[in-house]
Structure 1
Amino acid sequence: MSDLVPRPANLPAATGKPSFTRLAARMATLTASALALKEGLWALKRRMETDADHADMLADLCVAAEVEPRFTGQINEAGTALRKVAEASAELARAADQVQHDSQGLHDAHQGEYRGVYEAVNASGVRQAKPGFYRTR
């Protein structure tokens, strides 16, 4: 059985107005979650490959012991299925890696674009107009 354990969502609540800090927190959480998922999937891949190797060794021992061929065939089928799980988990880990990379890029772009504005607004101590107030047509 796998050591992966389902985890509850750790995203901040979706209530309230969008804000600089809320979006930054969500992007950081998404990046961390994608990293944890990727690491778990690579661990699953290694575990499934090890289990498949053990199934192959067991099948070889069964052949040497002249065990009924249908049982040896079932062990070989299990090893093949474990290898397919390992391949699929590697593909999913690569997708999680891409999500991690893209969410980190979005976080970095967001910080680069709006960090200065956020700090200037908070440093002024003056209540700012609602978004869109200064927009011109």
Structure 2
Amino acid sequence: MIRRILATEETGSVLFIRLMVGGIYLSEGIQKFVYPADLGGGHFHSIGFPLPYFSAGLDAVLQIVCAILILAGLFTRLAVVPLLIITIFSLVAIQMPILISHGLWAMLHAARTDWCMLLGTCYLLLKGGGRWSFDRKWFS
């Protein structure tokens, strides 16, 4: 069963999606530690998150670890699951208030990265790590 989850298709172009998704999540995770007041615990506190500094740290660690796995193409399908949850939560918790207060176009503008990341992680969930991945080398 686990071998089936980790198996991947031969598509080489998956590498580009892995680089985009992994690179952005890695950058965002690191920035939560580098700019905690604006992007980490301070931001989580400003949106009313319970235990904001703990939650931001956990979020950052998940983003960094999962991004490294995605960049390596190792356990790709498993690594995208926490990122899907984070992204969906971001769309609901952060973008929905923008929709309510400023309208559809303002929300779509603010959520453009979240939508790209949601679609990119869904693609990796369906396809796996691709031809140039540790998943392909070890599990297919």
* Length-normalised TM-score, structure 2: 0.38
User: Higher helix proportion, which one?
Assistant: 2
Q: Which structure has the larger Rg?
A: 1
What is the TM-score when the length of structure 1 is the normalising length?
0.39
Bigger RCO (CA 8 Å, 6+ sep):
2
